Amino acid sequence: MLKILLVDDEALARSRLKSLLLDCSNPAVQVVGEAANTVQAVEFLQHHDVDAVLADIHMPGADGLTLAQTLRQRVKPIAMVFVTAYTEHAVQAFELDALDYLTKPVRLDRLQVALQKIERFTHAPHASEPDLLDEFLVIQERNRTLRVSLSDVLYLKAELKYITVRTVNHSYILEGSLAELEAKYVNRFIRIHRNALVARRAVRSLEKHHDLDEGDGWALRLSGLVDVLPVSRRQLAAVRALVIEATG
């Protein structure tokens, strides 16, 4: 059973969320404490063990984002889920390792999804090596904010001022710099073209395609995708070396 701490300066909001949690059974939860602000929450956590904190962002004094920063410093990880009426803090929340971001009024099915994430988090081994930590891209869509795991991303392709983020089943649009992503995730991705990075783990084969002009007609095939990606002449040697290494 998951042990939950609720943090919200509005007693009615805590009561409503607590009632929703009582309707959740997969997994089962127990609200072990409530706090009206960050100071009370930190004090509670000094004396009690919890699996997750469900917190509002806008509260008097230190806000929910400050609480998230505090939780990151703990030796024993605690899942952080924001429950707020404001959508504009989602990117910052995920940068602080928030597990999920729910907007008020909270739907029961959406809360259930968050609890299942918490359950997986509490049962997962928490690696101390940076290379083993899961990392995410935060995607802003019209009415929601998504966190896409880098382990699911097959390629990143720059198009005008946007980047297409491609997984097996979906394409997302991300604002950013391909060069910055390449530098940050050099161990995960390799550049195959001036406008494309591909996941090293997804490389399947290097193939000759006579209908392609770039890279002497060479293209890269990735696991899970039908389409191939052209490889530039400049990147061909590095890509060929990776394919040889990957295919053993």
Positive or negative: CA dihedral 71, 73, 78, 82:
positive
Percent of the chain with pLDDT over 90: 45
Domain final residue pick, 95, 126, 157: 126
Once rounded to an integer, what is the mean pLDDT over residues 24-32?
91
Residue 217 confidence class, pLDDT cut points 50, 70, 90: confident
| 113 and 203 share one domain | no
CB neighbour list of residue 84: distance below 8 Å, 6 or more residues apart: 56, 57, 58, 64, 101, 102, 103, 104
The answer to whether position 132 is within a domain reads no
The answer to whether position 94 is within a domain reads yes
User: pLDDT tens, 50-88?
Assistant: 999 999 999 988 899 999 988 887 767 789 999 988 777
Which DSSP helix (H) or strand (E) runs through 120? helix 108-123
| Domain range enclosing 152 | 148-247
| 121 and 13 share one domain | yes
**Number of separate domains in the chain:** 2
| 82 and 195 share one domain | no
How much is the pLDDT for 131? 38
142 vs 185, higher pLDDT: 185
| 156 and 48 share one domain | no
Q: Are strands 171-175 and 162-166 parallel, antiparallel or unpaired?
A: antiparallel
Let me know the angle formed at the C-alpha of 156 by 153 and 161, rounded to the nearest 5 degrees.
Answer: 140
Question: How many Å apart are CA 204 and CA 3, to the nearest integer?
Answer: 44
CATH (domain of 101): 3.40.50.2300
What's the pTM?
0.56
